[in-house]
Amino acid sequence: MRAFQIQTFDAQPALAEVETPSPAAGEVAVKIAACGLNFADMLMAKGTYQDTPEPPFTLGMEVCGTVIAHGPGVDSPAIGTRVAVFGGQGGLADVATFPAALCRPVPDAMPDTVAAGFQVAYGTSHLALTRRARLQPWETLLVLGAAGGVGLTAVEIGKALGARVIAVARGADKLAVAREAGADHLIDSTDGDLKSQLKALGGVDVVYDPVGGDAFKAALSACNREARVIAVGFASGDVPQIPANILLVKNITVIGFYWGGYLKFAPDALTDSLSDLMDLYAQGKLRPHISHVLPLDRAGEGLDLLANRQATGKVVITP
């Protein structure tokens, strides 16, 4: 079968012919229909992600596909069941094996491409905003990188939770995508002083930040009293240093958030969150945005789209 693999961290990932895997005890084999790309896949390809396996390994953290075989001791999900899986790796291939316990049945009304890119982006924003930031309906939510894979979902979920949403993104096209997702106010990240524009809008109560760098600093300066700042990632490449005096004077809380870490210490939190998200999707309150769908032999182009910030919403690969 085909797999898009990292052989060494010094070389670019490439498509390879490998042996089709068989499921071990507790696992199922899944024929992959679609695989969602994430910023973490880029980091993993360089060996800089916190959960990077030793090479060689196959990229692709989240998938949708059909169960085609059971390993010893497994009888569900039944063969033929369409499932979504966050496996952390292995998804950019024709077939992959995953622990059966990680497989979640997909509603018939949810397309493969949507299900493949749903878990990480929506799961990250929902759990960050509900469990960690405890966003309230009367509060103002600032979303940085608002047209990106996770940023756009934060805009949608913030609106679904009743907040006023300020979206910051680069350029009119990306801001238009954020507006369609429900943003109340739009700010071009290249247009003037972000701090001043945020203060003119009354400041912010919760900051959702997958960007870092100067945007984080500006957002922190525009925080209202008792604001919460969620550090989701550092797409700018700049990990900001936090002046503790600002936190003290305004009673601000800075919150670290790593969605995948919950698999190890609170998996029920992920399961409950994804259940809530499926309900919101069924109610028509979430409209996942996919800017590119590419075949497996163009997976490298998909990673380049993320690296060059040319994508909005999700990039999905379909073997």
Q: Rounded to whole angstroms, how far apart are CA atoms 55 and 89? A: 11
Residues 65 and 130 in one domain: no
Share of the chain above pLDDT 70, in %: 100
Range with the lowest mean pLDDT among 39-53, 82-96, 177-191? 39-53
Residues 97 and 108 in one domain: yes
What pLDDT is attached to residue 92? 98
| Average pLDDT estimate for 271-283 | 89
| Average pLDDT estimate for 130-143 | 98
Residues 216 and 96 in one domain: no
State the helix-helix crossing angle for 119-127 and 267-282, rounded to 10 degrees.
100
275 lies in some domain = no
* Residue 144 pLDDT greater than 90, yes or no: yes
pLDDT band at 317 (very low <50, low <70, confident <90, very high): very high
Lookup result for tokens 């945007």:
215
Residues 146 and 33 in one domain: no
What pLDDT is attached to residue 191? 87
Q: Rounded to whole angstroms, how far apart are CA atoms 151 and 146? A: 4
| Average pLDDT estimate for 146-163 | 95
Question: Would you tell me how many other CB atoms lie within 10 Å of the CB of residue 264?
Answer: 8
| Average pLDDT estimate for 231-254 | 93
Enclosing domain of residue 11: 2-118+288-318
3-state secondary structure (DSSP) of residue 186: strand
3-state secondary structure (DSSP) of residue 305: helix
Residues 91 and 164 in one domain: no
- Number of domains into which the chain is organized: 2
Residue 84 belongs to domain with CATH number = 3.90.180.10
3-state secondary structure (DSSP) of residue 294: strand
Residues 87 and 180 in one domain: no
What pLDDT is attached to residue 231? 96
240 lies in some domain = yes
* Residue 264 pLDDT greater than 90, yes or no: no
* Residue 230 pLDDT greater than 90, yes or no: yes
CA dihedral 164, 287, 169, 209 (to 10 degrees): 70
Is it true that the peptide bond before 53 is cis, omega within 30 degrees of 0? no
User: Which value, in Å, is the radius of gyration of the alpha carbons in the chain?
Assistant: 20
92 lies in some domain = yes
* Residue 263 pLDDT greater than 90, yes or no: no
Q: Give the bridge partners for 215, in sequence order.
A: none
- CB under 8 A, 24+ apart: contacts of 79-85: 81/105, 82/33, 82/106, 82/112, 82/115, 83/30, 84/115, 84/116, 84/118, 84/119, 85/30
What pLDDT is attached to residue 271? 83
What pLDDT is attached to residue 89? 93
What does the pLDDT look like over 285-308, one tens digit per residue?
899 999 999 999 999 999 999 989
Residues 142 and 22 in one domain: no
Residues 97 and 126 in one domain: no
Helix runs in the chain, H state only: 39-46, 112-116, 119-127, 151-160, 172-180, 194-200, 213-221, 244-250, 262-265, 267-282, 299-307
What pLDDT is attached to residue 309? 86
Q: Which two tokens stand for residue 137?
A: 């309906």
Q: Which two tokens stand for residue 151?
A: 């940023």
95 lies in some domain = yes
* Residue 236 pLDDT greater than 90, yes or no: no
pLDDT band at 267 (very low <50, low <70, confident <90, very high): confident
Angle among Cα 52, 259, 95 to the nearest 5 degrees reads: 55
| Average pLDDT estimate for 78-97 | 96
Average pLDDT score, the chain: 94
Residues 68 and 140 in one domain: no
280 lies in some domain = no
What does the pLDDT look like over 251-260, one tens digit per residue?
999 999 999 8
What does the pLDDT look like over 157-170, one tens digit per residue?
999 999 999 999 99
281 lies in some domain = no
Q: Among residues 76, 2, 87, which one has the least CA distance to residue 36?
A: 87
pTM for the full model?
0.87
